Structures are given as C-alpha cells and as structure tokens.
Amino acid sequence: MGQSRRTPLAAAGDNTGQRVRLSAMNFMNVSVKKSLAVSTLLIGLLVVCASEVSLAQDIRVSNTSTSIGNGRYRWTIFIDASQADLEKIDFVQYYLYPIFDNPNRKVDKPRSGPRAFSTSDVAFRPADVQVIVKFRGQKESRSFNYTLRLRSSFAKSWYVVLGSFNLNDGGRAEELASKYNAQGFKAYRVDTNSGDFPNFDRGSWTVVLGPGTLTEMRNQLRNVPKLSDIKPYVRQSAKY
C-alpha cells in the first residue's frame, strides 16, 4: 500500500527526458566531429600555403650570356634552386618569341647542377620569356615573366651589400636604405629573386650600393658605416 506507482504520464516524461539527453549528446558529438574536421582542413590549407610560399621564394629564373660578335649573344636560361627543390620539379616550359626556332620548349633535364632545366639560343637584344614550372604530383605550377639579360661584361657587376632581409620584411629593407641615404649614400633594395643576382642568396631583399667595378666598390666600402646587424661587404652579382 505504501509503494507509489508511476503514472503513464510520469513514465512518458522520464522517457522524453532521456531522449532529450541522448539527442543533446549526439548533437555535441556531431559538433565535435565537425569542429575536428574543419580544424584538420584548415591545418592542411595552412601547410599547403606555407609550402607554396616556400617554393615561390626558393626558386628563381636566371640566365648567362656571352658576346659572340656582331652584336649577338649566346644565352642560356635556367632554374636556380636548391637540389631539394629541383627534385620536386617535373618539367619547365619556356615560351619564347616566335622569331626563335622552337619557341615553345619543354625541358625536363638536366635535373641538377648550377644550370638545371636549361635551354640556350642566340639573340641580338633582351627578350621576354614566360616560364612555367610544373611540379611532380601537383596540379599547381609556378609562372615567371622573365627578361633575358644580355651582358657583354661582368666588370661592373660588383656591389656593396649593406643588409639582407626576408621577402616579407621589405619595409625594414627600405628603412635601412633610407638611413644610408640620409648620410649621403645612394642605397636601394633589390629582390634577389629577380634573376639579376644569381650570386646572391635567393628569396631576400638586399640593400646595396652600386653597381661598379671591384676596385670602385672596395674604395666605397672604406667609407661605409655599419647600420645593421651585418658588417657591409663587397659581392659580385653574377660570375660566369
């Protein structure tokens, strides 16, 4: 007699509460799984983006040239990169002016050395070249709009190097150049990925004085103060 009985309505209320709790738990589990999936996707995108930035900074196009008389130059265009990055390249497509024989050139060797993925020809004047770098196992490619440099002499290819910064520190490079200019020097920053500085480290803004002959730059170095973390020094932009 003293025992209480749950009415059907109370029992139904208990079941409803249990279902609500289970539904809430399922919703939380789904939300957590979705959050984890989104986080994983974002991390993957960040890794891909970081990889692409790295490749963009560590690969550059450059060329050599030699005067062969009558205003003509024999040139060789190539990919300048570390061996680790060269191994990631599948092939390089060069699009030259139609006046050249075989203007669309697909190059897949040599795959190493100082002039990897190179092609050569003769020209009378500088020429624009579109360069497409295709990577192994990737749909993405790198595109460069490059102008062939035809150099008859490297005598005036020396610079005084005042400082060097990452490509994302262009503002600091400008500040350093301004400090030297305030003292009467003609300093400016150069992008070492431009192709004009194959003897400089890739992927940096470098603040320089010059160009000039080796003697001229050494004489100027004697009067240059140290205004950055490195001691100024003389370096040749290219040596072939």
Compute the average pLDDT of residues 221-240.
90
Asked if residue 134 and residue 64 are part of one domain, the reply reads: yes
Q: Three-state SS for 143? A: strand
> What is the rounded CA–CA span in Å between residue 16 and residue 18?
5
99 and 118 belong to one structural domain: yes
**Token couple for 160:** 């005084």
pLDDT > 70 in the chain, percent: 74
Residue 50: the pLDDT is 40
| Same domain flag for 186 and 231 | yes
Q: Is the pLDDT of residue 235 over 90?
A: yes
Cα 69 to its chain centre, rounded Å, is: 36
Q: How confident is the model at residue 12 (pLDDT cuts 50, 70, 90)?
A: very low
pLDDT mean over 14-25: 51
Answer yes or no: is 218 within a domain.
Answer: yes
Domain range for 3: 1-58
At 235, phi and psi to the nearest 5?
A: -145, 145
Residue 193 inside a domain? The answer is: yes
Domain count, the chain: 3
What is the distance of C-alpha 168 from the center of its chain?
11
- Please give the pLDDT value at position 193: 84
CATH label of the domain that carries residue 196: 3.30.70
- 70 and 134 fall within a common domain: yes
Task: Render pLDDT for 175-210 as a digit per residue (tens, 0 to 9).
Answer: 999 999 999 999 999 998 877 888 888 889 999 999
The whole-number average pLDDT for the span 33-54 is: 45
Query: Rounded to whole angstroms, how far apart are CA atoms 66 and 185?
Result: 32
Domain shared by 173 and 215, yes or no = yes
Residues 71 and 104 in one domain: yes
Neighbours of 199 (CB within 10 A): 15
Is 153 within the bounds of a domain?
Answer: no
Residue 20 lies in a domain: yes
SS (H, E, C) 77-122: EEEECCHHHHCCEEEEEEECCCCCCCCEEEECCCCCCCCEEEEEEE
Would 152 be classed as within a structural domain?
no
Task: Tell whether 192 and 132 lie within a shared domain.
Answer: no
Alpha-carbon span 166 to 172, nearest angstrom? 9
Please check whether residue 92 lies inside any domain of the structure: yes
Whether 63 and 143 share a structural domain: yes
In this predicted structure, the answer to whether residue 136 has a pLDDT above a threshold of 50 is yes
Rounded to 10 degrees, the C-alpha dihedral 41/42/47/53 comes to: 130
Instruction: State the residue for tokens 């150049």.
Output: 177
pLDDT of residue 45: 41
Q: Are residues 48 and 73 in the same domain?
A: no
pLDDT at 217: 96
Residue 136 and residue 69 share a domain: yes
Q: Write out pLDDT tens, residues 60-106.
A: 999 988 889 898 999 999 999 989 999 999 999 999 999 999 999 99
Longest dimension (CA), the chain: 122
Same domain? For 208 and 128 the reply is no
Question: Any idea what the CATH number is for the domain that residue 132 is in?
Answer: 2.60.40.1970
Residue 186 lies in a domain: yes
